[in-house]
Structure 1
Amino acid sequence: MHPESTLNQLRESLPSGELPSSYGVYFKNTLVALCHALEDHILQNCSDDPAQQPLVLVTFQQGKWYLQEAERYLDIARCSSHIAVAAVPDSGFANHKAGQLDNVSLVHLNPKDSLVNEWNLVIVAPGYASMVLCHELSEADYQTQNQPGEDIERKFYGLWTFERGQVEKTAEILIERMRPYNSELADRLLEQCQQIQSRGDVAPVDLSGVVSRVVSYLQSSQEQLVTVSRQTREFWELEGQALRLNRNLAANKLQAFLRMAQRVDERDPANPIASLQVSALSETLGQMLDLPTIKLRRLRLAGLLFRVGLSEAPAEVFTHLSSDLKDSTKDLWRGRTILGAQLLGAMPELEPIAKIIRHQREHWDGSGRPDGLQGEEIPIEARILGLVARFQELTQARSSRSALSLSEALDKCQVHSGDRYEPSLVETLGNVVRLTEMGLMQLPSQPSQVPKVWLEDMSNAEPSTSETAL
Structure 2
Amino acid sequence: MNPESTLNLLKASLPDSQLPSSFGVYFKNTLVALCHALEDHLLQTGEATGEKPLVLVTFQQGKWYLQEADRYLQIAQLSRHVVISAVPDSGFAEHPTGQLDNVSLINLEPSDSLVEEWNLLIIAPGYRAMVLCHELSESEYLANAKPTIDTERKFYGLWTFDKALVDQTTEILINRFRNYNPELGDRLWESYQNITATPNPTFPDLSTVVSRIVTYLQSSQQELISVNRQNRQLWQLEGQAKRVSRNLSANKLQALLRMAQQVDERDSFNPCASLQVAALCETIGQILDLPTVKLRRLKLAGLLHRIGLVSAPPEVFLKTPSEMDEATQKFWRDRASIGGRLLEAMPELTVVQQVVNHHLENWDGSGVPDGQKGKQINIKARILGLVSYFQELTQPRGNRPALTLKDALNECEKYSGTRFDPAVVNSLATVIRLTEVGLMQLPTQPTQLPNIWLEEITNPAYSEHPESPKITH
**TM-score (normalised: structure 1):** 0.69
Change (3 A) 1:197 1:370: closer
Distance 1:453 1:193 in 2: 35
| Contact 1:60/1:86, CA 8 A, preserved across alignment | yes
Tell me which residue corresponds to 2:23: 23
Change (3 A) 1:394 1:177: closer
Q: CA deviation at 1:372?
A: 11
Q: CA deviation at 1:87?
A: 1.0
Root mean square deviation of aligned Cα: 5.4
Count the aligned residue pairs: 426
| Contact 1:356/1:382, CA 8 A, preserved across alignment | yes
Q: CA deviation at 1:106?
A: 0.8
Tell me which residue corresponds to 2:4: 4
Tell me which residue corresponds to 2:415: 412
Tell me which residue corresponds to 2:344: 343
1:66 partnered with 2:65: yes
* Percent identity of equivalent pairs: 57
- Partner amino acid for 1:224? E
Distance 1:237 1:261 in 2: 37
- Partner amino acid for 1:170? T
Residues 295-374 of structure 1: matches in 2 within 5 Å? 298-306=297-305, 343=344, 345-346=346-347, 348=348, 350=349, 353-354=352-353, 356-357=355-356
Q: CA deviation at 1:13?
A: 2.0
CA offsets 1:182-203 (integer angstroms, 9 cap, x no match): 0111122123223333445443
- Partner amino acid for 2:35? C
Tell me which residue corresponds to 2:192: 193
Q: CA deviation at 1:213?
A: 0.3
Distance 1:276 1:308 in 2: 13
Q: CA deviation at 1:53?
A: 1.7
| Contact 1:344/1:351, CA 8 A, preserved across alignment | no
Tell me which residue corresponds to 1:229: 228
CA offsets 1:321-366 (integer angstroms, 9 cap, x no match): xxxxxxxxxxxx9x959956971643x4x5774575588699999x
Structure 2 unmatched runs, 5+: 312-320, 322-333, 395-406, 455-466
Distance 1:284 1:13 in 2: 42
Change (3 A) 1:152 1:388: closer
- Partner amino acid for 1:385? L
Distance 2:15 2:362 in 1: 48
SS in 2 for 1:105: strand
- Partner amino acid for 2:37? A
- Partner amino acid for 1:98? T
| Contact 1:134/1:159, CA 8 A, preserved across alignment | yes
Change (3 A) 1:310 1:190: closer
Distance 1:389 1:185 in 2: 50
1:81 partnered with 2:99: no
- Partner amino acid for 2:28? K
Q: CA deviation at 1:163?
A: 1.7
- Partner amino acid for 1:232? N
- Partner amino acid for 1:188? R
**TM-score (normalised: structure 2):** 0.69
Distance 1:11 1:392 in 2: 33
Distance 1:201 1:372 in 2: 39
1:33 partnered with 2:33: yes
Tell me which residue corresponds to 2:94: 95
- Partner amino acid for 1:414? G
Tell me which residue corresponds to 1:108: 107
Structure 1 unmatched runs, 5+: 313-318, 320-332, 396-403, 456-463
Change (3 A) 1:160 1:240: farther
Distance 2:263 2:167 in 1: 24
Change (3 A) 1:299 1:198: same
- Partner amino acid for 2:344? L
Q: CA deviation at 1:57?
A: 0.5
Distance 2:112 2:382 in 1: 58
| Contact 2:275/2:303, CA 8 A, preserved across alignment | yes
Distance 2:202 2:272 in 1: 20
| Contact 1:211/1:259, CA 8 A, preserved across alignment | no
Change (3 A) 1:214 1:446: farther
The more displaced of 445-454 and 57-66 is: 445-454
Change (3 A) 1:364 1:206: closer
Distance 1:212 1:394 in 2: 30
Change (3 A) 1:371 1:11: same
Whose relative contact order is higher, 1 or 2, with alpha carbons under 8 Å and at least 6 apart?
Answer: 2
Distance 1:116 1:341 in 2: 35
SS in 1 for 2:58: strand
Change (3 A) 1:354 1:110: same
Change (3 A) 1:183 1:446: farther
Change (3 A) 1:106 1:6: same
Change (3 A) 1:205 1:383: closer
| Contact 1:215/1:253, CA 8 A, preserved across alignment | yes
SS in 1 for 2:222: helix
Q: CA deviation at 1:289?
A: 6.6
Distance 2:339 2:23 in 1: 31
Q: CA deviation at 1:157?
A: 2.4
Distance 1:310 1:3 in 2: 35
Distance 1:75 1:184 in 2: 25
Tell me which residue corresponds to 1:180: 179
SS in 2 for 1:83: strand
CA offsets 1:273-329 (integer angstroms, 9 cap, x no match): 9978855753564577798999766534312434768999xxxxxx9xxxxxxxxxx
Distance 2:255 2:112 in 1: 33
- Partner amino acid for 1:214? I
Q: CA deviation at 1:112?
A: 2.7
The more displaced of 381-390 and 218-227 is: 381-390
Change (3 A) 1:203 1:63: same
Change (3 A) 1:194 1:149: same
Tell me which residue corresponds to 2:421: 421
Distance 1:68 1:337 in 2: 33
Distance 2:52 2:342 in 1: 34
- Partner amino acid for 2:80? S
SS in 1 for 2:416: helix
The more displaced of 160-169 and 405-414 is: 405-414
SS in 2 for 1:16: helix
| Contact 2:52/2:78, CA 8 A, preserved across alignment | yes
Change (3 A) 1:73 1:444: farther
